[in-house]
Amino acid sequence: MRILVLSLLRVGDLFQQRPLLKRLRELYPTADIEVVTNLSCLSSKKLFPEITAWHGFDRDRFQKSLGTAEIPLLAPVVDLENWIAGFTSEPIDLLLNFTHNRLSAQMAAMIPAREKRGLLAEVRGFRVFENSWLRHFNDRFSVKNGTPFHYAEALAGSFAIDLPAPPVSETKGSTVFVQALTSDQKKNWSLSSWKNLVDQIRLERPELNVKVLGAEFEEEKLLTVFESEDLAILDWEHLQVALQKSQLLITGDTSVKHLAASLGVPILELALGSADPFRTGVYAKNAFVLHAAVECAPCVHSQPCRQMSHLCGENLSLKDVVRTTLQILSGDEPSPPLNKKIKLYRTDFVAGAGWMLSANAVDAVDQAAWKLALDGEKIPALGSTAWELKKLLLREDLQVLQKEQRELEERLSQAESSLKQIGRQLLAGQHEAHLLQEVRRAMNSVTSLSTRVRRHLLDLNEVGIEPFPSPLHFYGAFKKRIEELKVRTEMRGKLIQQLLLGEKEHGKESGESSDGSLKTLGEGV
């Protein structure tokens, strides 16, 4: 069997996809698993023993030829076809497009394969709606607060790959590594701050070896503040070896972070600029994140900082980072940062819900409900999910969940009623602009709702602001989103009922409550 994976983003994304590639190898132990990736990612290929072959795509040349007037218009297309022909003489059984952008969709369409999954360009657009996870990924992943899931899990769901729990971070040695530079200036903490951090760690913990990581092209910049003996300039293979002997990695949002996460290395991430620890944070358990939760964060990756100064970096004080670092190194639970604009999170994994940042019960139940709804009929896990989750629950948590459930059901009912009105109007051959305006106003009044509920209503809110060519188009889009919300809301309701049922039975059996957990049904619930 021949499996081809399209991974045409950056090396950090490839590292985030590593759990999926490993799982593919477990599922297809005798298959040839091959990866199409950008040339710039090939330097990391030895870190992926599960991959049989690599096909490097010269994206820079392709992009340049598209934008060069002297190159005939269709030359890049023909070149691409010829390049693909070079590795598709043997039939491909399964093509998986892990990339989810236009170029990969075009490439996926051009590559002959018996079965194709993921975003695919077709004559009349892009095919993406083959499963609910892929649709969720397509519609929500790039929207702020659009999804509760980590990138790895959303991607795995899109390809029906069941991932094991992420690794648990564990100390492996006595070296503290610092990754001071990222690919985007906005994500960088100042080099002088990094220097001061290294000095402080050495002062407080002289028995530890502290090294500053960098690639060859970063060395010159690092030497502007660090001494050469401070640096560890390593290629990917040596970096992996080094990280596996580390006590802690302190890093910005970089590919090194994702590599370390996959190895179970203890990590403290400094999430600045466009870093989004909720979606692409350290995919491991028991890592820590200091996140500058200023209003503009996370900002857009490919654009310069729009503030007068680097607000997020300025708010991340040396004092907070030093204190958190030393507490982690001592094995203590880190204290909340002194600056209230900086949030400290611990990564976690909750069975039934998935990876989370600073898991709390309400978020976990909500996330689990999302997962159950997206997994659809094929999961029998409602009862077992409830069983796992009720261990986390306090009485107040269930009260919050039920309140939010009522809000969701109200909004759903309101939306269904509006949909019926619009439908009647359309059948009568009429449409009134003011009716659409009313719907839009109603859908947009969400400020009093929690972030969790607003996330559920995101699709409906977008319907309220998107332009549509006609009321009929609006009706169709609105109807589809209501149906999806209904599935999620019902699943959420079922999960809450299971949790209530579990507590009711617990109350009958024991007649008493355990410390901190939800007491018998009916008490204030």
Partner 1 sequence: MKSLSEQWVRAHAIRAPHIVVLGLGDGDHLREWLAENESSRITVIETEAVKIAQCENQTWASSVDFLHIVTSDALMEHPVMKLMAEKMPPVLCFQPGYGSSKALYDEYFKILTGRNLRGLNYFLDYLGFNGERSIEVSLGGRLITIKELGLMIDTHHSGHQRATAIRVLRELVI
H/E run at residue 429? none
> Judged by CB, which is closer to partner 1: 53, or 75?
75
Minimum separation from the CB atom of position 467 to partner 1 (A): 18
- Rounded to whole angstroms, the Cα distance separating 242 from 374 reads 39
- Total number of residues shown for the chain: 525
DSSP secondary structure, 228-269, as one string:
GGGEEE--HHHHHHHHTTEEEEEE-SSHHHHHHHHHT--EEE
Angle between helix axes 236-243 and 255-263 (nearest 10 degrees) is: 50
DSSP, res 285? B
Minimum separation from the CB atom of position 104 to partner 1 (A): 9
Q: How many helices (H) and strands (E) in the chain?
A: 21, 15
> Judged by CB, which is closer to partner 1: 102, or 508?
102
Residues 6+ apart with CB under 8 A from 459: 139, 481, 484, 485
> Judged by CB, which is closer to partner 1: 71, or 165?
71
Q: Measured between alpha carbons, how far is residue 468 from residues 135, 446, 462, 472, 475 in Å?
A: 20, 22, 11, 9, 10
Task: Report the interface residues with partner 1, using CB under 8 A.
Answer: 63, 66-79, 101-103, 106, 121, 123
Residues 6+ apart with CB under 8 A from 298: 144, 271, 273, 274, 275, 276
> Judged by CB, which is closer to partner 1: 126, or 387?
126
Minimum separation from the CB atom of position 125 to partner 1 (A): 8
Asked if 418 and 438 count as a contact pair (C-beta separation under 8 A), the reply is: yes
Minimum separation from the CB atom of position 112 to partner 1 (A): 16
> Judged by CB, which is closer to partner 1: 116, or 211?
116
Output the six-digit token pair for 188.
């960088």
Minimum separation from the CB atom of position 138 to partner 1 (A): 16
> Judged by CB, which is closer to partner 1: 125, or 429?
125
> Judged by CB, which is closer to partner 1: 61, or 306?
61
The helix/strand/coil state of 290 is: strand
Minimum separation from the CB atom of position 97 to partner 1 (A): 14
Minimum separation from the CB atom of position 454 to partner 1 (A): 30
